[in-house]
Amino acid sequence: MEAACTSSEALLQLRENVRAYWGYDSLRPLQQEAMECVLEGRDSLVVLPTGGGKSLCFQAPATCLPGVAVVVSPLISLMKDQVDSLLSCGVPAAYVNSTLSYQERSDVARRVRDGEIKLLYLAPERLVQPRTLEFLVAAKVSLIAIDEAHCISSWGHDFRPEYRQLALLKEVFPDVAIHAYTATATSRVRDDIAAQLHLREPKVLVGSFDRPNLFYRAQRQDGLMSQIRDVLDRHRDESGIIYCISRDKTESVSKTLNEAGYRTLPYHAGLTDQQRRDNQEAFIQEEIDTIVATVAFGMGIDKSNVRYVVHAGMPKSLEAYQQESGRAGRDSLEAECALFFSGSDFRIWQRIIEESTDESRGGALAALTAMYNYCTSVVCRHRAIVNHFGQAAPPACEQGCDVCQGDLDLVEEPLIVGQKILSSVVRQQQRYGAHYTALVLQGSQDGKILSNRHDQLSTYGLLSKETISTIRDWIEQLIGQNYLQRVGEHGVIQLTASGHSLLKGEETPLLLKPNRKTKSRSKAARPTGEKSWEGVDRPLFDELRALSRAKAREAGVPGWMIFNDAALRDMARRRPTTLEGFLQVKGVGRKKCQDFGDEFTSAIACYCREHGVEADLDSE
């Protein structure tokens, strides 16, 4: 392919297409730079968080270039969602996978040969088949986009061996630019992606890993089902995901919630393929509110209106957590991410990793420790995530997490409490675990403590007014803040260099007060996102959302694919009653205006008359 040039004319065409097809007047950070790489025919590696608009980076320029863009996608459901979304915007797109009949695949091939398709979605294993490559070489390929590109790296959190075959693309298509896209990739993973794909001097674009529209909360499990229900109650009639570590937990959480009147379904690898497809479809079509799943669920979900993601257990890494929690708020509206963890989560993952034969076990254990430190820390959650990915910390998150909102109550004299705990560890000769240390500090009459004569220690009973659970929490927090460390297979706790500084009074930890359920829950207010609701007529929004869902049922697609919540809020803010005004709504392009404009503007006009409210407002 001859490299295109990003002249002012080309950029003008690009922006016209973005407005015409997707209804956007502006682009998000780094999107234009990523699109320019495509138009120039230069290899690129783009890392943007979930919801950052990665897909548009290759979809929009593909509409400007001659030929067909080949998109590598890992899951059938993801292909279908993206192609359906493109078709609803008026962009000619198709996919080829096992769900199509021979005749349907032949029809797609004919349309590609005739130049009728702008984007063709394929799985990696299908793309590298000799017949597919031979067919595409004969076609005019404008670009190759590799979605979920972290799957090619063994250092990534979701390595997939079939992605390694993509290394041959540069040999087969030496003149076609390759563009890799992912939501989560450390510098090591980015380097590996570029190397595995044989990218030539790629432009590497890394967006901010901060998701300011997400509210992060991390709490130690204390009545898990009640904690989960609190989140669901804050988001009645809204879509959400609950992640569990095991299949059994997935089933039990879903069953308990259904018995309490919530609408959920489970999703895990133990279900049949048909059951998984049916349950996922029920979630996508909003026949249920919540999907309760293992991490087997999610990569193929292109659902923009997920308003909450709950982790009923700690993920194995911050990379995994950022990917999974990032499925909330993809429409850039506010959403909640609640993580409920326990010390046993750490031990479960640690055992799984240590029993594996993977060469990267050391890295996996380090990632697990970083995840646990995030859970037990008392610093801004947004700051902690961004720092983990090597980026400068964002400004204060303005109550965008439990720490900055003040949900966490801190101990008034943490230095004294910390010194008591570390002193006991030293006097126990740093040979015992966290639970044993908690028993000593609480003044337990446990037989082992008495036989070791540790009831004679000066630290025995120093925290007798506290529960074992509270003392254990403080020990875990000191481990998370690197004042203590676990050593060996039995998890013996020992002081670090920072721990010795704490004993001398040179450093002060941050420790949380014991959980107080009533206080915690009264403070756990729903992230309101009042700014995104500013000027929105909420009853009208509800009516328009119901209309959007009705049109979606007629078309056999999810409601958000007709108009997402952001577009519906803008409609309820502007209240357009003409097609010209309807086209000004963010997210309304020519095709959607043509398909739905008359019905929606009529509904808005009727509402405004019945309620005596002003129509056709200028919201700019």
Can you give the residue ranges of every domain in the chain?
8-206, 214-402, 414-515, 534-611
pLDDT at 528 over 70: no
The pLDDT value given to residue 490: 81
Give the position of tokens 């044993």: 436
What local confidence, expressed as pLDDT, does residue 367 receive?
A: 87
Q: Residues of the chain with pLDDT > 90: what percent?
A: 62
Closest CA to 50 of 326, 350, 445, 255: 326
CB-based contacts of 374: which residues, under 8 Å, 6+ apart?
218, 318, 321, 381, 384, 385, 388
How far is Cα 154 from Cα 164, in angstroms, rounded to an integer? 10
The pLDDT value recorded for residue 531 is 67
The residue among 250 and 380 whose pLDDT is bigger is 250
Rounded average pLDDT over 158-187: 88
Report the CATH architecture of 534-611: Orthogonal Bundle (1.10)
pLDDT of residue 187: 82
Looking at domain 214-402, which CATH architecture does it have? Answer: 3-Layer(aba) Sandwich (3.40)
pLDDT greater than 70 at residue 614: yes
CATH 1.10.10.10 is right for the domain spanning 414-515: yes
Which two structure tokens, joined as six digits, stand for 528? 């309101």
Q: Round to whole Å and give the CA distance between 563 and 501.
A: 57
Q: What is the mean predicted confidence (pLDDT) over 399-406?
A: 86
| Residue 350, pLDDT above cutoff 50 | yes
* Dihedral angle sign, alpha carbons of residues 411, 417, 419, 424: negative
Q: Residue 472's closest CA among 500, 443, 514? A: 514
Question: How high is the pLDDT of residue 520?
Answer: 40
**405 token code pair:** 């909102």
**What are the pLDDT digits (tens) for 443-472?**
999 999 999 999 999 999 999 999 998 999
Give the pLDDT of residue 600: 97
**Residue 93 dihedral angles phi and psi, to the nearest 5°:** -145, 160
Helices (H), 183-244: 187-196, 224-234
The DSSP secondary structure of 335-375, one letter per residue, reads EEEEEEE-HHHHHHHHHHHHHS--TTHHHHHHHHHHHHHHH
CATH superfamily of 8-206: P-loop containing nucleotide triphosphate hydrolases (3.40.50.300)
Same fold yes or no, 214-402 and 534-611: no
* d(C-alpha 608, C-alpha 612), whole Å: 6
Q: What is the pLDDT of residue 358?
A: 65
Q: Give Cα 598 distance to the centre of its chain.
A: 36
Q: Would the pLDDT of 22 be above 80?
A: yes
Higher pLDDT, 303 or 297: 303
Between 50 and 315, the higher pLDDT residue: 315
Cβ-count burial 323-344 (b if 16+ within 10 Å, e if not): bbbbbbbbbbbbbbbbbbbbbe
pLDDT in tens, 550-581: 998 888 887 788 999 999 999 999 999 999 99
In tens, the pLDDT along 29-86 reads 789 999 999 999 999 999 987 777 889 999 999 999 999 999 999 888 788 888 999 9
What pLDDT digit, counting tens, does each position of 232-291 carry? 999 998 999 999 999 999 999 999 999 999 999 999 989 998 998 899 889 988 899 999
Strands 264-267 and 203-206: unpaired
| pLDDT at position 294 over 70 | yes
Residue 583 and residue 590 in contact, taking contact as beta carbons nearer than 8 Å: yes
Please give the structure tokens belonging to residue 64: 């400007």
Q: Coil, helix or strand for 65?
A: coil
- The stretch 385-399 carries a mean pLDDT of 78
